[in-house]
Structure 1
Amino acid sequence: MKKRLIAVLLAASMVFSLAACGGKSSESETEEDKVKTEGTEETKEDDVEKPEVDTIHWARANSGNILVTVAKQQGYFDEVGIEVIEDPVESSAAALTALQTGQVDVTSNQGTNNPLQFIAEGSDFTIVGGYMLKGMYIVGKKETEYKDVTSLKGSKFAYAGVHPVVGMALLDAGIDPMDENQIEWLSYSTNSDRLAAVVAGEADYAVLSGDQLFAVGNNDQIEIKAWLDDLVPNYGCCRMNMNTEFVKQNPITVKLLLKALIRAEQWYLANTEECVSILAKEIGADEDYVAAYLLNENYVSSVDPCKNAVIKTWNGMVQMKFIDQEAADSINIEDHINTELYKAALDECVEEYYDEDPEFYDGRIQFFEENDQ
């Protein structure tokens, strides 16, 4: 009994001694660990890069934008803290006017020549990325002989004026696209009207976009004669445009937006067939209609700005007098192409997600080196 009492007193003295020396109970240790953990979590949260603005208004064309849709559905925009709101627009002119007036922050389905025309006329736009790299094509009746771009000489061509890419190819072949004796351009405002003109025999050829591939594929009188990429490789079909002031004031927002889109491009290319049903549902169209362009190997997307193609298009438009010489002399078009933010976004994606798809990211790096340097 005496020994037991001594043991109890000894244990008590040890507890007191620990307390006197600053020893902590298990309860206080847990509380401190909790504080340390919370502090670490706060530090990590502070390290996360935040966009200057968290809401982006995107001009949405009738055919939609599969990369925006995927980035939404896969949560890529959410991960970078950005909400993208798509505002419907009826035409390229309406979309670019909405951008000019600040009603939207981004346009992406309006080609390359259209935003360049706005820039030439005084709009301060900056091309920061892209949507479709290629996907437009020339159609004619099956019996109409076509060998190469020289076959267009002497033809009637349906488009809204001279098509810049076709015009550049004609110039390279020594044919003046502005000379009515060499090629006659018939003005039709919509793709469906251009297709109807060829079917009716009013025009020999027409340039069409992806939204007409289903109609072309189901018309036994018409066939695709050439893809515009055959004429001018990587011509940069649809570029991604923003107001220059917005880009300057919100560089982190733009970079994070591009980062989400690059990830969406990788997912789209790895899951193209699934994207058919996703986009069909998004735009309220039949899956066969969407599959006609989305599964076509010549319909290719790229978030890359394609700087070299944009400059080539600008120079071609100047040569064909779409852009007057005064504007050409006063504007350095390279000042309206920002490749740095895309490259920063790509570098971060490579660092964080390379193992998910090495082939995709190696391809994006090589493409940038070949098309933006």
Structure 2
Amino acid sequence: MLNQDLTRRGFLGLVGAATAGLGLAACGSTQVESSNAAPAEQAATVQSAAEKVRGMSEQEEEEAWKKEPAYGKTLNLGYTGGLCLGALGLGLSNGFYQDEGLDVTIVNMSSTTDALGSGKVDVAGDHIATLLVPATNGVKLTMAHAAHTGCKSLYVLSSSDIQKTSDLVGKTVGLPDGIGNSDQNISMRYFNKDGVDINSVNWKAVTSDAVVQALQSGEIQAANISDQFAYPFVADGTLRAIRSITTDDDFKNEPCCVVSFNTDFYQQNPVTAKKFVRAFSKASQWAQDNKAEFVDILFENSWSSGDKDVALDLANKYNFVVNDSTTEAALRDIITDYKKFGVIESKDDVDTILDNVWAPVLA
């Protein structure tokens, strides 16, 4: 059993947390009915739909698209800004969605998991470490394409004697997004990769605005933090990273975030999903090739804030183009790790779980 507050309820709480008070406004896109199909049956249907559209010609696509419920309707995109998922906004600002014939509107959301699972948004992006566990526990979301690599690291005080994860045995790691969420899921993989028992570490929820003070007071000895948040503290010598999904060789090529659809929407509108992913893929390639302009667009649209030079420096460390085969391999590794940790409680094998959560739609 994991230390401190990490309980089964903590993990499963990802599925239903914060449903009260979400208050997401309806935005006029196609509302899909919840499917009554069993997860395995629904996964098979989604996989079949994705496989069919992957092989379509352009003419076949257009004919099939006209028969979909979402044809001619507004597509609700869940996006709250940020550098990491900036290509979602870029698809709108630079006309990539429009080029595919899509009418896309951005919807703010409090929780990607709740917004996708409830159908309040049709598509959104977030950490694999955030979405994977709820998806295996029945939340209706299907991952379709990677967004980028990198974005978080395990930080300690620069003055600390801690140099590696094994130095944290018996010590406490702070988690700005709370117990059982992405910061913990990512951190456990650091320790596992290094052969350190995840049960030998204590875990503590610490709010982002208090995480540096918690390190300085000795309340925690390390914290998994967004690189963008940590940047000024690294620059002034307060913090240093000892492990990172952004720069470490064993993590830096893995996708951090993925684009996901409400599963019912994806099942009913696979051509629409393909068009969106194709547009997003083009936006991602543009961002990769034009990082300075990309960052400028994010700031101009208030999709990013803070120091623009910092954002550009970080963008230069991220890869916004990750192919589906790399994403699938990473998902296999992550699912394997999460099953080992008990984060994923399903007794299904890795291939079955993968089919239930991942359905790439591009050829």
Q: Which has the higher mean CA deviation after the structures are superposed, 277-286 or 80-89?
A: 277-286
In structure 1, distance between residues paired with 2:311 and 2:225: 12
Structure 1 residues 330 and 315, CA, compared in 2 at 3 Å: closer, same or farther? Answer: closer
* Residue 66, structure 1, aligned to residue 82, structure 2: no
**Superposed displacement of residue 126, structure 1:** 1.3
In structure 2, distance between residues paired with 1:325 and 1:270: 40
In structure 2, distance between residues paired with 1:186 and 1:200: 14
Within a 5 Å distance, the mapping from 1:1-373 to structure 2 comes to: 49=62, 51=65, 52=68, 53=70, 54=72, 55-63=74-82, 65-90=85-110, 94-109=111-126, 111-159=127-175, 160-161=178-179, 163-177=184-198, 179=199, 182-188=200-206, 190-229=207-246, 230=248, 231-283=250-302, 285-286=304-305, 288=307, 290-296=308-314, 297-302=316-321, 304-305=323-324, 306-326=327-347, 332-339=353-360, 341-342=361-362, 344=363
- On the 8 A contact 1:157/1:205 being kept in 2, the answer is yes
**Superposed displacement of residue 319, structure 1:** 1.1
Residue type at the aligned position of 2:319: V
Q: Which has the bigger relative contact order, CA under 8 A and spacing at least 6?
A: 2
**Superposed displacement of residue 205, structure 1:** 0.9
SS at match of 2:138: coil
Structure 1 residues 132 and 198, CA, compared in 2 at 3 Å: closer, same or farther? Answer: farther
**Bigger share in helix:** 1
**Superposed displacement of residue 157, structure 1:** 0.6
Task: Tell me how large the CA RMSD over aligned residues is.
Answer: 2.8
**Superposed displacement of residue 284, structure 1:** 6.0
**Superposed displacement of residue 240, structure 1:** 1.4
What is the identity percentage for the equivalent residue pairs of Structure 1 and Structure 2? 19
**Superposed displacement of residue 197, structure 1:** 1.9
Cα-to-partner distance string for 1:183-238 (whole Å, 9 max, x where unaligned): 111112x4333333223332111111244144434543222333224253433211
Cα-to-partner distance string for 1:15-66 (whole Å, 9 max, x where unaligned): xxxxxxxxxxxxxxxxxxxxxxxxxxxxxx9788374435221111342632
Cα-to-partner distance string for 1:91-128 (whole Å, 9 max, x where unaligned): xxx2211111110011202x112211212221232110
In structure 2, distance between residues paired with 1:199 and 1:304: 40
- On the 8 A contact 2:78/2:125 being kept in 1, the answer is yes
Residue type at the aligned position of 1:121: N
Cα-to-partner distance string for 1:272-300 (whole Å, 9 max, x where unaligned): 11222211122265461x44234323333
Greater Cα radius of gyration, structure 1 or 2 = 1
In structure 1, distance between residues paired with 2:129 and 2:61: 38
Residue type at the aligned position of 2:313: L
Cα-to-partner distance string for 1:147-190 (whole Å, 9 max, x where unaligned): 4433333332101236223212322333211x2xx2111112x4
SS at match of 1:131: strand
In structure 1, distance between residues paired with 2:280 and 2:81: 19
Consecutive aligned runs of 4 or more in structure 1 exceeding 6 Å deviation: 45-48, 327-330
- On the 8 A contact 1:262/1:303 being kept in 2, the answer is no
Q: Which has the higher mean CA deviation after the structures are superposed, 51-60 or 329-338?
A: 329-338
Structure 1 residues 260 and 232, CA, compared in 2 at 3 Å: closer, same or farther? Answer: same
- On the 8 A contact 1:140/1:222 being kept in 2, the answer is yes
Structure 1 residues 300 and 329, CA, compared in 2 at 3 Å: closer, same or farther? Answer: closer
Residue type at the aligned position of 2:122: D
Residue type at the aligned position of 1:295: D
In structure 2, distance between residues paired with 1:78 and 1:142: 48
- On the 8 A contact 2:255/2:322 being kept in 1, the answer is no
Structure 1 residues 48 and 244, CA, compared in 2 at 3 Å: closer, same or farther? Answer: closer
Structure 1 residues 106 and 48, CA, compared in 2 at 3 Å: closer, same or farther? Answer: closer
In structure 2, distance between residues paired with 1:284 and 1:336: 28
- On the 8 A contact 1:164/1:313 being kept in 2, the answer is no
The count of corresponding residues between Structure 1 and Structure 2 is 289
SS at match of 1:302: coil
- On the 8 A contact 1:113/1:314 being kept in 2, the answer is no
Residue type at the aligned position of 1:154: G
In structure 2, distance between residues paired with 1:308 and 1:328: 15
SS at match of 1:283: coil
SS at match of 2:92: helix
- On the 8 A contact 2:61/2:271 being kept in 1, the answer is no
Residue type at the aligned position of 1:171: N
Task: Give structure 2 stretches of 5+ with no counterpart.
Answer: 1-57
- On the 8 A contact 2:116/2:140 being kept in 1, the answer is no
In structure 2, distance between residues paired with 1:270 and 1:201: 43
Q: Which has the higher mean CA deviation after the structures are superposed, 326-335 or 65-74?
A: 326-335
- On the 8 A contact 1:213/1:293 being kept in 2, the answer is no
